[in-house]
Chain A
Amino acid sequence: MSTTTTTTVTSVDEAGTSRARAGGDHLDALENETIHIFREVTAEAERPVLLFSGGKDSVVMLHIARKAFWPAPLPFGLLHVDTGHNFPEVLDYRDRIVAEHGLRLTVEKVQDWIDDGRLIERPDGTRNPLQTQPLLHAIAEGGFDAVYGGGRRDEEKARAKERIVSLRDAFGQWNPRNQRPELWGLYNTRHLPGEHVRVFPLSNWTELDVWRYIVREGIELPSLYFAHERRVFRRGGMWMALSPVTAPRADDRVVTKTVRYRTVGDMSCTGAVESTAADAAAVLAEVAATTVTERGATRADDRLSEAAMEDRKKEGYF
């Protein structure tokens, strides 16, 4: 497979100075809100952490977090739950970004949980639902009381009901029927010992906003977000990559296609779309013209049922 990094690397500092701050632009309004959230929660929490997978939402989140605290170093570390099914390009990207910016990264591996029997591999091989327990364990082990996630309300119907600062009980559970009202810009981060808050600084961003921002700021992404040739086969209406965890069945026809990924989750359930968009601007043009949601297009795990995401979230998922 061919993988080339197609966007230019622009430092946070250059991006900040290279644009005029016109008050009316809606990306500026969203960025201002996200920065406000990071500063509020980081000031009030004992030990925040940012969930970083190398996916575009977590990359944008990290970019804005670094801007929010400039010139001070990022006042919290990163946490990644590695399913063991991650795309190697994404892990390389993750490690490079961490090294480049001198960040602290904790990795919790689902494979370790499967190896020692705490978790059992699902018959369908999908590991996304298996991430919840390792995630909660890593949060407890790290003593993290505020956990930044890249979830957006436009992604999914259960997420549309989530607060920006969302309480999790001592079992990590979300109770959608008893959420705290979130008034004005006054975020309530209080919690009892053992509880924590999940914080979604990109709540009000849409997929299109994220891509527009990536283009505007010149943010580097893992290469598989851009068109590349890959050996793929058709499964459930999606192009699945040939990989150690996605073996084609005898009747599957493996072909070479020019594809890109819209999300970069578990290889076993994340599909690619045919595309020739080789850079962020070209992807933006495609996203603007698309007629299918990103999860609908490429995430098999969300098709499990009408309430698949709600059920996972209640248990403590991202």
Chain B
Amino acid sequence: MGELLRLATAGSVDDGKSTLVGRLLVDTKNIMIDQYTAVEQASAARGLDQADLALLTDGLRAEREQGITIDVAYRYFATPTRSFILADCPGHVQYTRNTVTGASTAQVIVTLVDVRHGVVEQTRRHLAVAALLRVPHVVVAVNKIDLVDFDHGVITEVCDQVRAVGADLGIDDLTVIPVSALLGDNVAEPSDRTPWYDGPSLMAYLETVPVAVDDVDEPGRFPVQYVLRPQSGAGEEFRDYRGYAGRVERGSFSVGDRVCVLPGGRRSTVVGIDLPGGGAGRSAGASESVTLRLADEIDIARGELIAAEPVPEPVRQLDATVCWLDERPLRTGDRLLVKHTTRTVTGIVTGIGGRLNLSTFEEEPAGELALNDIGRIGLTLADPISPDPYAESRTTGSFVLVHPQTGNTLAAGMVS
């Protein structure tokens, strides 16, 4: 069984993203007969003469009624070599919110450009979000090439435009693929109507792009989620057991490692790595859920960080870039909850440093951040957190802002 790849797709209005996703599912034979039949029936009921593949993905009643996609939908497909989790991010309503959500966990993001329109405002926004959230691999599918008769000149011009925007944004790993989602050209199979294109089909790309991140040499980070102390609940053998359950969020840990517990700064040694359900491991790498035991009887609670050298500095002042996701704007002086790894602290917004203009990619002054704005802010925290810069770690450098009363998620944050 193969690797797992987390993928996000983002598109603007009517650029054929749902059709592309439907095409990927159909061409990789990940659509069952009853699902396809339902789509054919629904398409026929609307007077269409071929199956509208977008109907495979638009799940909510309002979406089908309005012919639009409202919310991020998750799709699953597999090939003999890989399993894919696809976060399908619509371009209609709250597009930045949706794209940020999908991009936050994606290893690959695929965004679409309608070849007839070239790079538009939303393309720039999607690529800016991909760059900002540091999605490791970025693909732009230049779609609807059938509608320009597969014209080499027209398509190449748009591909070059896309590459120029990618370069502006500092995206290192950008791949441009000309496709027709409707007809399947360069989606699952290379097209013979684009003989001048010698790159991979979208599917071939997705099956071969490297996903394993080799970060075993990076410093270990283990936010404590839950303290396991069964006391009398699990028999005599475990009466004195004390383990710290969590997930390795960066680097790796081995038995014998010297560690520091933050924000307090106490030091100890890893004496055991217990696997879920029991059994001992020698080491644990990124994304593994394990339980660490330490040599010293120190009192550690949820929200503390077990870290290896070099350890991050606990801070009560934070500079960060945030994507504001709430209707009510963010203002200086706002009091919010900051959730960073397993730690939630109160924060006050001390200043707004500027808003990113997504057309020019320049920062402009801003008194507040409105829905879908991306900007820099300063925060003062009631209790310290110990983050890494987001540029070094997407897991230990990210946080969310939460409304202290309603509990709503207000912003995605990245530590500068």
Q: Hey, what's the 0/1 contact readout for B334-366 against A, CB within 8 Å counting as 1?
A: 000101011000000000000000000000000
B227-248 contact mask (Cβ, 8 Å, vs A): 1 or 0 = 0111001100110010001110
Q: Please indicate the chain A residues that have their CB under 8 angstroms from the CB of B409 in the complex.
A: 180-183, 188
Q: Which residues on B sit within 8 Å (CB–CB) of A72?
A: 228-230, 233-234, 238
Chain B neighbourhood of A182, CB < 8 A = 101, 409
Chain A, residues 182-222, CB within 8 Å of chain B (1/0): the string is 11111010111000000000011010110010000000000
**Partner-binding segment picked from B65-73, B110-118, B256-264:** B65-73
Determine whether B400 belongs to the interface, using a CB cutoff of 8 Å to chain A.
Answer: yes
Which one, A35, A183, A293, contacts B276 given CB within 8 A? A35
A17 CB-CB contact with B under 8 Å: yes
Q: Is the CB of B398 within 8 A of A160?
A: no
Task: Tell me if A185 and B288 are in contact (CB < 8 A).
Answer: no
Q: Which residues of B contact A206 (CB under 8 A)?
A: 76, 78, 83
B395 and A184 contacting across the interface, CB-CB below 8 Å: yes
B47 at the interface (CB under 8 A from A): no
Interface string of A26-49 (1 = CB under 8 A from B): 111111110110011011000000
Shortest A67–chain B CB gap in Å is 4
* In the complex, B253 has a CB within 8 A of chain A: no
Closest beta carbon of chain B to A49's beta carbon, Å: 17
Partner among A13, A35, A204 whose Cβ is within 8 Å of the Cβ of B76: A204
Most buried by B among A31, A36, A291: A36
Chain B positions 59-111 with a Cβ under 8 Å from a chain A Cβ:
59-62, 64, 70-76, 78, 82-83, 85, 97-98, 100-101, 104-105
Pairwise interchain contact A181-B101, C-beta atoms closer than 8 A: yes
- Picked from B1, B212, B278, B342, the residue with its CB within 8 Å of the CB of A16 is B278
Instruction: Give the residue among B38, B74, B229 with the most A Cβ atoms within 10 A.
Output: B74
CB distance from B20 to the nearest CB of A (A): 16
Asked whether B277 lies within 8 Å of A12 as measured between CB atoms, the reply is yes
B50 within 8 A of A: no
Secondary structure at chain B's binding surface: helix, strand, loop or mixed?
Answer: mixed
A36 and B408 CA atoms in complex are apart in Å by 21
Q: Which residues of chain B are within 8 angstroms of A177 by Cβ–Cβ distance? A: 60, 62, 70-71
CB of A161 within 8 A of CB of B225, answer: no
Contact A306 B76 (CB under 8 A): no
In the bound complex, residues from chain A placing their C-beta under 8 Å from that of B408 are 180
- Asked if B399 CB lies within 8 Å of chain A CBs, one says yes
**Nearest B residue to A29, CB-CB:** B4
B398 touches A36 (CB 8 A): no
Q: How far is the CA of A26 from the CA of B60 in the complex (A)?
A: 29
Interface string of A56-99 (1 = CB under 8 A from B): 00000000101111111100000000000000000000000000
Report yes or no: B100 in contact with A70, Cβ–Cβ below 8 A: no
Given contacts A23-B285, A23-B287, A71 and B238 within 8 Å (CB-CB): yes
Query: A75: shortest Cβ distance to chain B, in Å?
Result: 9
**Is the CB–CB distance between A71 and B104 below 8 Å?**
no
A238 within 8 A of B: no
Q: A residues within 8 A CB of B42?
A: 306
Q: Cβ of B60 and Cβ of A310 under 8 Å apart?
A: yes
Minimum CB–CB distance for B131 against chain A, Å:
17
Q: Are B399 and A186 in contact (CB under 8 A)?
A: yes
Q: Determine the distance from Cα of A27 to Cα of B337 in the docked complex, in whole angstroms.
A: 34
A17-B279, A21-B275, A23-B287 given; A40·B225 CB < 8 A:
yes
Q: How far is the CB of A109 from chain B (nearest CB, A)?
A: 30
B37 closest partner in A (C-beta): A296
List residues of chain A with CB within 8 A of the CB of B325.
181
* A204–B104 touching, CB < 8 Å: no
B32/A293 in contact, CB under 8 A = yes
Contact of B226 among A43, A158, A292 (CB under 8 A): A43
Judge whether A157 is part of the interface by a CB distance below 8 angstroms.
yes
- Shortest C-beta distance, A50 to chain B (Å), equals 16
The answer to whether B225 and A43 have CB atoms under 8 Å apart is yes
B281 at the binding interface (Cβ < 8 Å) = yes
Return 8 A-B CB contacts under 8 Å, by A number. A32-B287, A42-B226, A72-B229, A157-B59, A177-B62, A181-B98, A204-B76, A293-B32
Leading 3 A-B pairs by shortest Cβ distance = A16-B277, A190-B407, A157-B59
Extra A-B contacts (13), CB below 8 Å, given A23-B212, A42-B226 = A16-B275, A25-B3, A26-B82, A43-B342, A67-B277, A69-B228, A70-B278, A154-B75, A167-B407, A182-B101, A184-B395, A190-B337, A297-B34
